[in-house]
Copies of this chain bind each other. A is one copy, B any other.
Amino acid sequence: MHLAALHTPSQIQLNKEGNLKHFLTIEGLSKETLTKILDTAASFFNDQNQLITNNLLEGRTVMNLFFENSTRTRTTFEAAAKRLSANVLNIDIARSSTSKGETLRDTLWNLEAMAADIFVVRHSSSGAAHFIAKDVCPHVAIINAGDGRHAHPTQAMLDMLTIRRETKKDYKDISIAIIGDIKHSRVARSDMAALQTLGCKDIRVVAPNTLLPYGFDDYGPEVRLFNNMEDGIKDCDVIITLRIQNERIDSPALSSQAEFYKMYGLNKERLALAKPDCIVMHPGPMNRGVEIDSSIADGPQSVILHQVTNGIAVRMAVLALAMQGQLQEKGLIEAIAV
């Protein structure tokens, strides 16, 4: 993997007209591009607030390449692509020809030659989707469905869409707290990048020092660290609680679930410190009673299931936009039409 490339704000995901042709990472994308994604996603809801279906990918072939298993994320992409009328193929990429001594590059070229238009890529290595887009299949629209600890950009965009649709406020006027295991969360990293690009001025990271990433100081002046939960969520508009992964428990970073809940679990008393209309988000799957109390998860301020629905809309948007960006680059369409 070309790790060096990950830290340059890459223009690889844009075509010459500046439109998306891959969707790899939030970093380096402009406010206009992120807003285009959000506008497109929002347009996929009808007046009854139901997700529509349409023909934007009719006749197109979407292949899901999940090198790392994630039933849930794969399902969301499959549902999204089918709502756009695409043909969807789930490729058993782990069992595919790499096991016969073929190189990964040859396997991917073969899949591209089967007339694939879009690859949805999930991989445990940071930069995998980036590498495929840059060095293997630049003419296939590559959608990053999560790569190592690096990025989970559709999750970030569904969080942004949820904030926009639920708070109905501008990002610049929002105070947001992100609570928990920032260190191991690709969601947190992508969320912070998106929030900064969209103009958010008050991003609070609430975590013990052991769950903060190295180099945390580099995140910019909008981002502040709070070790104390109560201070962190005071007067917030949005709270994002992160999943504590079981494998972190009993490590030097985290003594026990009960200890985490005592220090950072979101409950009624703590939520009362935020603004009265503060919304509560969680990327799922939840550990009830660890990072969040059930009364909050199921309560009136929770928008956790709305995030899931918004996730379908956002995935529809990036699939449709990246496809159009590829067609535009190939001269097959003149302008982006969604």
Report the minimum CB–CB distance from A292 to chain B (whole Å).
11
Q: Is the CB of A102 within 8 A of B286?
A: yes
A61 at the interface (CB under 8 A from B): yes
A36 CA / B296 CA spacing, docked (Å): 44
Task: Report if A75-B111 is in contact (Cβ < 8 Å); known contacts: A59-B53, A69-B95, A82-B61.
Answer: yes
**Chain B binder among A85-93, A124-132, A167-175, A186-194:** A85-93
**Chain B binder among A177-185, A195-203, A263-271, A303-311:** A303-311
- A284 contacts which of B75, B92, B97 (Cβ < 8 Å)? B97
Could you say which interface size class chain A belongs to?
A: 35 or more
A7 at the interface (CB under 8 A from B): no
Q: Is the CB of A75 within 8 A of B91?
A: yes
- A100 contacts which of B101, B111, B285 (Cβ < 8 Å)? B285
Most buried by B among A53, A89, A92, A285: A285
Report the minimum CB–CB distance from A302 to chain B (whole Å).
11
How many chain copies does the complex carry? 3
A157 CA / B23 CA spacing, docked (Å): 37
Q: Is the CB of A102 within 8 A of B284?
A: yes
Report the minimum CB–CB distance from A161 to chain B (whole Å).
14
Report the minimum CB–CB distance from A115 to chain B (whole Å).
5
Task: Report if A285-B72 is in contact (Cβ < 8 Å); known contacts: A82-B61, A113-B306, A114-B312.
Answer: no
- A309 contacts which of B113, B285, B311 (Cβ < 8 Å)? B113
Pairs of residues from A and B, 6 with the lowest C-beta to C-beta distance, nearest first: A113-B308, A102-B285, A82-B87, A53-B59, A113-B305, A97-B285
Q: A53-B59, A72-B97 are known contacts; what are 14 more A-B pairs with Cβ within 8 Å?
A: A61-B83, A71-B92, A72-B110, A75-B89, A75-B91, A75-B114, A83-B115, A101-B287, A106-B288, A110-B285, A110-B305, A113-B306, A113-B308, A114-B309
Q: Which residues of A contact B (CB under 8 A)?
A: 48, 50-53, 58-59, 61, 69, 71-72, 75-76, 78-79, 82-83, 87, 89, 91-92, 95-97, 100-103, 106-107, 109-116, 246, 284-288, 305-309, 311-312, 332
10 A-B pairs in the complex with CB atoms less than 8 angstroms apart: A48-B332, A71-B92, A71-B95, A76-B114, A79-B116, A101-B287, A102-B284, A106-B284, A113-B305, A113-B307
